[in-house]
């Protein structure tokens, strides 16, 4: 942990839980930067070490998104970086310049500032999530974010908090009395991709069991098919996942569901090859997109989205489906409508929030 973080409530509670684990205090190693790192760090991301940090940057910031495609205007609550799971496709493998599971232990003390920002713009809907730079619940049994952050979001009328996960760590949430305006989301994939590529994640069935429990306990839920990956029998495989959803979930309680096809910065490719030599996710044909990321050829992306759009529509006609980082042309061809601009997509999702929570 960084020197000086012992004073935070969160540090004390974490250390109490990890009392048999060796702890070392060290000098602050400077701010986290979004950058490519040495090959050595990329190979070993320090997922077995937790680093307690007093984070000096902005806790609430817009999702980096991309100017070249339509984005949803999401805000990230930056609770920490890196993740104990190890999905082969994870973009975090190239994203940060520091290893280890970095936990921002001064979060609780900085929440006032976050809510000041939210309160200063009462007409805007802040769609906030913690699952962009880490899994929202993977470390919750130790860090107990669910005890710290739910209340402030639950009590405000112009925000929602989305916790996105591939784990079954919902005990903290279920023990909380705050449910209003809290969205619990699971990332889903085909059974084939889930088993082979999402190392450390629980099975799809387990994710859906947890989603059902959260739904029956009064939480609003969401799902994300991202990254959708083209692989052998992909249609049958994704159909199995939607069949499982039908078995476990009441579709009326789903606020939204995003679809995003596999995309990556070119620098990620050698890292995936090195860290996950058995992977098959790089087998497709990719082209360089306008945002500098590699993605499937447009016709392939359209086919993936159109297939899932139709399949999910057959299950339920109003699931709040949207595409992550795509063009109007791809939207129109695969979804049958287009938001025109990022603002248009933001308005569509804001309307979902109003319909669900008032």
- Residues found near ligand SF4 in the complex (CB under 6 A): 83, 85-87, 90, 92, 134-135, 166
Q: Nearest approach, Cβ of 264 to ligand SF4 (angstroms)?
A: 11
* Contact (CB, 8 A) for 294 and 263: yes
* Contact (CB, 8 A) for 186 and 223: yes
H/E stretch holding 357 reads: helix 342-357
Q: Nearest approach, Cβ of 343 to ligand SF4 (angstroms)?
A: 27
Q: Nearest approach, Cβ of 34 to ligand SF4 (angstroms)?
A: 15
Residues 6+ positions from 159 with CB-CB distance below 8 Å: 118, 125, 126, 127, 128, 153, 181
Q: Nearest approach, Cβ of 306 to ligand SF4 (angstroms)?
A: 25
Q: Nearest approach, Cβ of 84 to ligand SF4 (angstroms)?
A: 7
CA distances from 345 to 124, 324, 329 (A): 14, 10, 14
Phi, psi of 77 (to 5 degrees): -95, 110
Residues 6+ positions from 96 with CB-CB distance below 8 Å: 32, 33, 34, 35, 37, 81, 82, 133
Q: Which two tokens stand for residue 96?
A: 């940060």
Q: Would you say 85 or 182 has its CB closer to ligand SF4?
A: 85
Residues 6+ positions from 318 with CB-CB distance below 8 Å: 251, 252
Q: Would you say 98 or 338 has its CB closer to ligand SF4?
A: 98
Q: Would you say 23 or 195 has its CB closer to ligand SF4?
A: 195
Q: Nearest approach, Cβ of 58 to ligand SF4 (angstroms)?
A: 20
Q: Would you say 79 or 90 has its CB closer to ligand SF4?
A: 90
* Contact (CB, 8 A) for 25 and 15: no
Q: What is the C-alpha to C-alpha distance for residues 30 and 27, in angstroms, rounded to an integer? A: 9
H/E stretch holding 257 reads: strand 254-261
Q: Would you say 5 or 208 has its CB closer to ligand SF4?
A: 208
Q: Would you say 135 or 162 has its CB closer to ligand SF4?
A: 135
CA atoms within 13 A on the CB side of 250: 11
Q: Would you say 96 or 153 has its CB closer to ligand SF4?
A: 96
Q: Would you say 199 or 247 has its CB closer to ligand SF4?
A: 199
Q: Nearest approach, Cβ of 22 to ligand SF4 (angstroms)?
A: 24
Q: Nearest approach, Cβ of 231 to ligand SF4 (angstroms)?
A: 17
3-class DSSP assignment, residue 346: helix
Q: Would you say 110 or 134 has its CB closer to ligand SF4?
A: 134
Q: What is the C-alpha to C-alpha distance for residues 354 and 358, in angstroms, rounded to an integer? A: 4
Q: Nearest approach, Cβ of 169 to ligand SF4 (angstroms)?
A: 12
């Amino acid at each position: 942990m960084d020197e000086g973080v012992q004073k935070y409530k969160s540090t004390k509670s974490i250390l109490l839980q990890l009392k048999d684990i060796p702890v070392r205090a060290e000098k602050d190693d400077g701010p986290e930067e979004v950058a490519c790192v040495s090959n050595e760090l990329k190979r070993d991301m320090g997922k077995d070490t937790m680093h307690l940090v007093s984070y000096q940057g902005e806790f609430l910031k817009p999702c980096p998104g991309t100017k070249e495609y339509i984005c949803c205007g999401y805000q990230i609550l930056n609770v920490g970086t890196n993740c104990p799971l190890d999905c082969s496709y994870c973009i975090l493998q190239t994203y940060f310049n520091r290893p280890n599971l970095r936990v921002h232990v001064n979060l609780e003390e900085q929440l006032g500032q976050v809510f000041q920002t939210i309160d200063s713009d009462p007409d805007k809907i802040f769609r906030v999530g913690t699952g962009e730079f880490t899994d929202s619940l993977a470390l919750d049994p130790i860090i107990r974010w669910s005890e710290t952050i739910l209340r402030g979001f639950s009590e405000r009328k112009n925000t929602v908090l989305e916790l996105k996960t591939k784990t079954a760590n919902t005990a903290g949430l279920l023990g909380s009395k705050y449910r209003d305006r809290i969205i619990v989301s699971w990332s889903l994939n085909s059974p084939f991709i889930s088993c082979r590529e999402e190392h450390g994640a629980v099975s799809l069935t387990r994710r859906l069991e947890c989603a059902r429990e959260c739904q029956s306990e009064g939480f609003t839920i969401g799902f994300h098919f991202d990254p959708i990956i083209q692989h052998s029998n992909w249609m049958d495989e994704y159909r199995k996942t939607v069949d499982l959803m039908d078995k476990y979930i009441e579709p009326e309680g789903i606020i939204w569901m995003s679809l995003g096809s596999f995309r990556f910065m070119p620098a990620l490719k050698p890292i995936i090859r090195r860290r996950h030599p058995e992977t098959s996710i790089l087998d497709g044909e990719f082209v360089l997109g306008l945002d500098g990321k590699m993605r499937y050829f447009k016709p392939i992306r359209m086919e993936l989205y159109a297939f899932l759009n139709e399949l999910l529509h057959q299950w339920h006609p109003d699931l709040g489906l949207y595409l992550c980082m795509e063009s109007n042309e791809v939207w129109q061809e695969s979804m049958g409508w287009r938001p025109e601009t990022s603002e248009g997509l933001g308005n569509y999702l804001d309307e979902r929030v109003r319909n669900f929570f008032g």
